[in-house]
Chain A
Amino acid sequence: EAGVVQSPRYKIIEKKQPVAFWCNPISGHNTLYWYLQNLGQGPELLIRYENEEAVDDSQLPKDRFSAERLKGVDSTLKIQPAELGDSAVYLCASSRFGQGGYEQYFGPGTRLTVT
């Protein structure tokens, strides 16, 4: 079974530029999560999707961050414009429907550096 796929693995941009991250979850996993991991900290949930619906986006800074999962499979997380403080690792995870509290599978993450 293929794991969660994320791209790009690394991204370096200048502040005020836009950036997008892509995630392909494990086949059959209806639930998709985006996490933010700052250096020296554990991941923090940004948004959770059930199929194409964002059911928990309370931690997503909506002034500059947006996400979509149009067909209930792949997802894209966007930042526009990026700020220096957005430098972090962005993780995607997936789980079977209603099973996220029991096991989530994580992708390798995208390491973003904003200069």
Chain B
Amino acid sequence: AQSVSQHNHHVILSEAASLELGCNYSYGGTVNLFWYVQYPGQHLQLLLKYFSGDPLVKGIKGFEAEFIKSKFSFNLRKPSVQWSDTAEYFCAGTTDSWGKLQFGAGTQVVVTP
């Protein structure tokens, strides 16, 4: 079955540290991949997305993700986190334009001052 999996459920790091969250998918063929973020008390927001083209995707707030087809991965990175990056991060994917998204379980990221 098609699925999306995230490697870490909880990550704690200090401000200015680098962040990398793992995401793997099991789709064959063309895939659209996303990272969503949910800040405390807020709704899910799109951080970045990949459809085709340049496998290095840049999103909002300094985040980027790299699509590596050979590894079925779409890892999220930020070189220097801030306290305000404390949130839950979800990887998601779909193989159709109608958007039957499948989400990973999420990674709770806590950034300490």
Contacts and interface: CB of A to CB of B under 8 A. Distances in A.
A39 B32 CA distance: 25
Contacts, number: 73
Interface string B76-109: 0000000000000010101111111111111000
B4 to A, nearest CB: 8
Interface of B: prevailing SS: loop
A103 interface: yes
Contacts of B98: 31, 48, 55-56, 98, 100-101
Interface of A is mostly: loop
B51 interface: yes
A75 interface: no
A107 B45 CA distance: 9
A102 to B, nearest CB: 7
Contacts of B94: 100-101
Nearest to A109: B43
B68 interface: no
Interface string B47-88: 001010000000000000000000000000000000000000
Interface in A80-112: 91, 93, 95, 98-109
A102 B52 CA distance: 11
Given A103-B46, A107-B43, A109-B43, A95 B99 contact: yes
Shortest Cβ-Cβ A-B pairs, 5 listed = A100-B99, A42-B103, A106-B44, A101-B97, A101-B99
A104 B101 contact: yes
Nearest to B95: A101
Contacts of B92: 42
A57 B4 CA distance: 21
Given A42-B4, A95-B99, 15 more contacts: A3-B43, A42-B103, A42-B106, A48-B99, A56-B100, A91-B43, A98-B98, A101-B96, A101-B98, A102-B49, A104-B46, A105-B46, A106-B36, A106-B43, A106-B45
B103 A44 contact: yes
Contact of A98 (B97, B103, B106): B97
